[in-house]
Chains A and B, each alone.
Chain A
Amino acid sequence: MLKLEHNDIIVLLGSIGGILILSRIFAELGKKIKMPSVMGEILLGIILGPTVFGSLLPDFCNTIFPVTGATKIAMDGITSLAVVMLLFVAGMEVQLQIMLKQGKVAAYTSITSMVIPFVLGFSAVWFFPSMFTITSEKIIYALFFGIAMAVSALPVITRILMDLNLFKTKIGMVILASAIFVDLIGWILFSFVLSMMGHKGEINNIGFTIFMIIGFGLFMLIIGRYVINKTLPWIQQKLSWPGGVLSISLGLCFLGAAFTQYIGLHAILGAFIVGIAFGDSVHLQDREREIIYQFVTNIFAPLFFISIGLRINFIDNFDFPLVLLVFFLAVACKVFGAALGGYMGGLTKRESLAVGFGLNARGAMEIILGTLALNVGLIDNKMFVALVVMALITSMMSAPLIKRFID
């Protein structure tokens, strides 16, 4: 049986310790140039991994970050936990009510910013497959690419809106409501695509998968949400604080993830939907919300984002034409889709474009999506690198472009 030996434990603990300290330094450096902390963490992974450090000192790099053996398995386990928790906190920010109350503009923008990039992304793969390095079934790859074109990153968008003082404006709320909608639909669709990978696209299984996704979603969002909301005050009053809320919330997150994995869907869907149900409770205090985020984003998220750079050589897998194609498609589809919705909903041309560029920020969500797709063999390293680069650039270009159209 494979188990962690004395040296493996030292390597594992040492690498985790080093990663956490270095990631904090890189995240802080990133902040100085207005780069989201996740980008600093990815950059650190690239430096520590085969791209830089691995090329210069391959043996030393392999000792600290082994690519096989018990340490690698343990590290993979930790990053799997991290991605489940990241989806849980992403779900906690999905406020269905915001979508409901924003009215016509948000409804149009939400739909077009999801549908147009998805359809165009899907069509690009479907009609021009030679432009992509398709490693899985064409339809599954096309569906994934459509989702990758549609996804937005709520945390990055929130930061941008705050920095530009647009949070409480109509445009800010339209961007937020649409990002929430895209997040919700995008992750549900993605877990469907992942389960199709498992079922190799068989029709009977697809029907069952759709039924299970809808069933689980409705159950958690109506009954689960109600039960959590009624139980939370008891947890807050009777259990130690904030430990009680933290352990119960993450416990529910893992149970939800385990359940969806068990029924043939991906674990992320369970975590995401439980996150929505938990985050929606009116009793969840801001302080508790912040503690859960602190725990996930400062301990587990760096381990996950750095692990991305550790596994891939970004220089070897940097396919310039593919990077350009993915970047331009992503920007064109998203900006056009979102701006069209805004315009149809009654915004001016400039406001619509500001909304388009606001929703164009892909950030961490795109990278998580790409990593999960890479893990199951849906995409190859080259497409993954292209998605990471696109996520990086779209996140950084968003703020100045919004500003340009708002001013």
Chain B
Amino acid sequence: MTLARTIGFIASLAVAILFIFLWHLVTLYKLVPPVFLPPPMKTYDALVQGLASGPLLKASLATLQRMLLGWLLACVAGVGIGALVGTSPVLMRYLGPTLEAFRPIPASALIPVLIAIVGLSEGMILSVIAFGALWPMLLATIHGLQSVEPLLYDVAGALRMNMATIISKIGLPSAVPDILAAMRLSLTIALILATVCEMLSGNTGLGQWLLYSARQFSSANLFAGILILGVFGYLTNALMTVAERHLLRWKSPHEANRAGIA
């Protein structure tokens, strides 16, 4: 089984390399204008040079930092407020529907409103990212806490647990699957918001790098930037998968599949 998987992976990798070779041929015979599609080697050179000489590295790190900081802020605020609202029937009654009303609003649509109010300085970009990425986790925490198995509250009652213990030992752990799924979604939102804000503000970062490369018709630099964003997307997703595997190992395989670990 594992051997078959290994062979499959190697074959799959070979196919990917074949695609890169095809890409090479396409650029070699100029089937697509090189302004739009740089040869793979040139992309690689742009990547290595950009990282080695600094500007691309600086832009990448700036984007990564914005995204992660914004996301962390969003995690703390989202889960914190969600826990507060989700465990208080009173708050839930008054605030629940209002918070739910924010769900259909795309995070990026908040940018123009927030720019108008707070501007686009460095600190403000962070708050834009945090505010935009906060909603999925806020709503997921509330949902998770609302759908705790009711019998567990009887168990808690029989053990005479106080409110704080019920939240920390029963409520939040049982909301973890929902929260993790939302954290994954929020990471993607944070990456997109960081990039859009960089495009709009011109602050150093991959968003600005991409826009600048496109304006200069420097497709190799553009592709290098896209590649790095892809790697960020891949890595953050992979990290979430590892986290879910570990934190949700108590789920039966069937449930785990439904939770979207696969």
Asked whether A and B interact, the reply is no
Query: Residues of B with Cβ closer than 8 Å to A?
Result: none
